[in-house]
Amino acid sequence: MAQALPGLPLLYYRLLLCVEITRLAFRQNFSPPAATLWYNLNPKFINCLAGGMKESVQDFYGNQVQKTEDLDFDACCIADYDPGLLEPLTDEVKSRQYGCGSPIPDLISGLTALDLGCGAGTDVFIAAQLVGPAGKVIGIDYTDAQLEVARRNVAPIMENLGYDRPNVNFMKGEIEAIDLPDNSIDCVISNCVINLSTDKAAVFQEIHRVLKPGGEFLIADIVADRRIPHKLRENEKLYSECLTGADYEGDFTRRMAKAGFNDVRQTSRRRVKDVIESIRFISITYRGFKIELEEHCEDFGQVAVYKGTIPEKPDFYSLDMGHLFTSGLAQRICKNTADILKQSRLAPYFHISDEISHLGRFDCSPGATADAGDEETTVACC
């Protein structure tokens, strides 16, 4: 209740504004049924009345932006993909990338992946190559115009890949209520979308529900170095450009933990150029597993040895920013890392020693914090 109170004056002004708009419309001889229809069709008005950002975001990605360069800030356009994986994509799909990272998982051949907020489908079509013809990739988005682009490009891209049958499926839906069964997905990916959600807690609960035990998520998203004031969150443009809807970094990881994802790792991290009212934004790729982990890394005297058996990675395997395993070398690890390596699809590629006894806390962090000099992105594509 205490948290809701600061929003009350805003709600009051919003209601006044709505009444004023209605009064003006009627003064201009709108008949009541026509006015009702007009307002119902006007997303801005609905947004004003409901105070929600959903319609603004849908309008933004449905009508206002047609290509990456239409974005004015660089938060949603700092992805860097392996050029070989982009090659089979059509120009229409490639010109509509609005991601902030490259959340492309390894070792997903034959598996089922789900892309939350797939937009025009770049990550779906890239993952389609990695799961191969025996696997499947599902893309979910709530904006029709984005889905139309994705769907009309399925046939040409499948032809470029030489697949007889499409291994992708684009579904209309909300990522806060995913229309898929429990424990049905091997890997969830998402690229610059959760910052736009007005119910981020529900998104992580849904990710946890649909993932199979041992399954993984790879999420590239924008977080802020502090909690964003309400007045900035109300700015439709800044919100839709993936900035002011972002969580404070600490709150974002707390939400994940609350949904069942403890000790989520980072695989990349870089500062966004744009600074708004002294607020700095960071683009982070998070890697989490549906495995019961402790809140913190604890030392049980364990070591891991990477066997060097992952195709194309004979020398090293990078689990996250804090763990680069060298083939054949024993490396000390915490119990959480041991459990990730034992209970996920990485298990066949590692030897893990047994627990000895608890030896205290273990530092798994890569040592990067927002103030410790996050590398600022130099890629500005808009």
Ligand X SMILES: C[S@@+](CC[C@H](N)C(=O)[O-])C[C@H]1O[C@@H](n2cnc3c(N)ncnc32)[C@H](O)[C@@H]1O
Residues in contact with ligand X by the rule CB under 6 A: 57, 61, 76, 97-99, 117-119, 122-123, 140-143, 146, 174-176, 191-193, 196-197, 242
Of all helices (H) and strands (E), which one includes residue 359? none
Closest distance of CB 144 from ligand X, Å: 9
Query: Least distance in Å: CB of 85 to ligand X?
Result: 14
Q: Going by C-beta distance under 8 Å and a sequence separation of 6 or more, which residues neighbour residue 364? A: 263, 265, 297, 322, 323, 334, 336, 337
Q: Nearer to ligand X by C-beta: 96 or 345?
A: 96
In this structure, how many other beta carbons lie within 10 angstroms of the beta carbon of residue 254?
13
Q: How far is the CB of 192 from ligand X (least distance, A)?
A: 4
Q: How far is the CB of 236 from ligand X (least distance, A)?
A: 13
Query: Toward ligand X, which CB reaches closer, 185 or 338?
Result: 185
Least Å from the CB of residue 121 to ligand X? 8
Q: From residue 196, give the alpha-carbon distance in Å to each of 23, 119, 146, 241, 286.
A: 32, 13, 15, 9, 17
Toward ligand X, which CB reaches closer, 77 or 319? Answer: 77
Residue 96 is which amino acid? Answer: R
- Rounded distance between C-alpha atoms, residue 44 and residue 18, angstroms: 11
Residues 6+ apart with CB under 8 A from 30: 38
Closer by beta carbon to ligand X, 170 or else 349: 170
Specify the residue, 54 or 323, whose C-beta has the smaller distance to ligand X.
Answer: 54
Q: Which stretches within 28-90 are classed as H helix?
A: 32-41, 43-50, 54-59, 83-86
- Least separation in angstroms between residue 188's CB and ligand X is 12
CB-wise, 142 or 286, nearer to ligand X?
142
Q: What distance in Å separates the CA atoms of residue 278 and residue 372, rounded to the nearest whole number?
A: 17
Contacts with 88 (C-beta within 8 Å, 6 or more apart), sequence order? 125, 129, 157, 160, 161
Hey, is 1 helix, strand or coil?
Answer: coil
Shortest distance (Å) from residue 111 CB to ligand X: 19
What's the closest the beta carbon of residue 320 comes to ligand X, in angstroms? 21
Q: What distance, in Å, lies between the first and last C-alpha atoms of the chain?
A: 41
Instruction: Evaluate the CA torsion angle 291, 294, 300, 303 in order and state its sign.
Output: positive
Residue whose CB is less far from ligand X, 76 or 104: 76
Q: Which of 196/333 has CB closer to ligand X?
A: 196
